[in-house]
Amino acid sequence: MAVDDELLRINDGLRGAGVSLRLERRGGRLGLRGPLPRRDGGDGRAVQRLSLGLPADAQGLAEALRQLHRIEGQLAAGVFRWPAVAATAGPPASTADPFEASLERFERSFFSDPRRRRSLSGGRSTWTAAYLPYLRRLRQEGRGQTLTAALLLQVLESYPPASRSRQQCGLVLGLLARQEGLALPDDWRDQAAGYGLHRARFRAVPADGTILDAVSAIPNPAWRLVYGLMATYGLRNHEVFYADFSDLAPRGEKVLRVLPTTKTGEHQVWPFLPEWVERFGLGALADDPARLPGVCTDLRRTTLQQVGRRVAEQFQRYDLPLAPYDLRHAWALRTIHLGLPDTVAARMMGHSVTIHTRTYHHWITRRDQQRAVDDALGRRSA
């Protein structure tokens, strides 16, 4: 059945994300199974079933997954309670807890966004990796409290300043506040600053010479291609395995098309530097994409996050002197130094101009200042 195939895909994704609960079909109804607090009030947890009373169809699966994530958050915060009465058919009534009701509305809003529907796998990966961790902490910090702007600020400040996690937390909680009509401090964005390069890694972006030398430490030719693609096109870890390489043929324009199934959807990327296509032997992928490592890319059985993790693990295994995202940062800086407009570079990287400018603010500012200085000196000479 199609529902069973989808259940398998969802549960594989949950397993890969470290979620202990699973969805299951019993007859024509859906429920969940996993380690839950004992019904008799005893200590610890035991593997048990919880009927959700939802029909085993596409709509029921979407609602069941939403409820699973909600229950997982309640477990993490220590506020899960068994329902007094078993669920009946149809969607359950909204929780009476205003705090939980707010988080439920937020989750429904996230998955009902038309942009998420274009890439269901990408939406699930984004929710699990980029939203759920911060909502879990919000539940933990807000146990017994009302959802207020002060509580959101308290959760934000629990993350280190100038960290990626603090910036992402600020983004998620900011969206939640907008939905609930909470007025955040005027300096919320400054409080949440931290996206991109951590201060300690400010000067750690590898030089082109280091990037070219490091590939020799990779004995496997398939993983050398992965490294070369990321260095030449600035790809995210998982995007290497979801791209169209046909334009890398000898007479092609060397433009790589990242497929719609990726985190930020379809976009095209030009090589920086173009000569690296030949340097890393990437043209071979035009005729035979199977030259890449045999990583499972079937999103019914894996997630984008798992695929990306394989790349990071391989870099560590080869003890490379840089991380995968260092190649992406180096690509971005190369475009800045070569004068590519920020709007174009941001589109190629698959993120917004705001994110691009914030992440590479120092180098963009330096470039723009240098241009102004050159122009001023040029007028003086004239």
Q: Is the pLDDT of residue 126 over 60?
A: yes
At 83 the pLDDT is 76
Indicate whether 253 pLDDT > 90.
yes
Contact 306, 19 (CB under 8 A): no
Q: What is the mean pLDDT of residues 363-370?
A: 81
Ordered by where they begin, the domains of the chain are 2-37+47-93 (no CATH), 130-195 (no CATH), 208-370 (1.10.443.10)
Summarize pLDDT for 50-83 with one digit per residue, the tens.
Answer: 988 888 888 888 888 888 888 887 887 777 888 7
β-strand pairing of 45-55 with 243-244: unpaired
Task: Read off the pLDDT of each residue in 19-47 and give the average, rounded to a whole number.
Answer: 86
Mean of per-residue pLDDT scores for the chain: 84
pLDDT at 122: 66
Distance, CA of 17 to CA of 69 (rounded, Å): 12
For residue 1, what pLDDT band results from cuts at 50, 70 and 90? low
Q: What is the predicted pLDDT for the residue at 117?
A: 56
**Tokens found for residue 20:** 């202990």
Say if residue 84's pLDDT is above 80: no
- pLDDT, one tens digit per residue, over 290-349 is 999 999 988 878 888 788 889 989 999 999 989 898 899 999 989 998 889 999 999 999
What pLDDT is recorded for position 108?
81
For residue 95, is pLDDT > 80? no
Convert the pLDDT of each residue in 226-248 to its tens digit: 999 999 999 999 999 999 999 99
Q: Which of 80-89, 133-142, 277-286, 300-309 has the lowest mean pLDDT?
A: 80-89
What's the average model confidence in pLDDT over 202-221? 87
What pLDDT, on a 0 to 100 scale, did the predictor assign at position 94?
Answer: 46
How big is the chain, counted in residues? 382
pTM of the model: 0.56
The predicted pLDDT at position 218 comes to 95
Q: Pick the residue with more confidence: 1 or 103? A: 103
Pairing of strands 256-258, 243-244: antiparallel
**Which ranges in the chain belong to alpha helices (H)?**
2-16, 58-77, 98-112, 114-117, 120-126, 132-141, 149-156, 164-180, 188-191, 208-214, 221-233, 276-279, 284-287, 304-317, 324-337, 342-349, 353-359, 361-381
Report the percentage of the chain scoring pLDDT > 90.
33
Chain centroid to CA 380: how far? 49
Lowest mean pLDDT across 49-53, 133-137, 220-224, 363-367? 363-367
Q: What is the mean pLDDT of residues 122-126?
A: 73
Tell me how far CA of residue 120 lies from CA of 9, 188, 231, in angstroms. 11, 30, 28
Dihedral sign computed on CA atoms, order 362, 363, 367, 370: positive
Q: What does the alpha-carbon distance between residue 24 and residue 73 come to, in Å, rounded to a whole number? A: 19
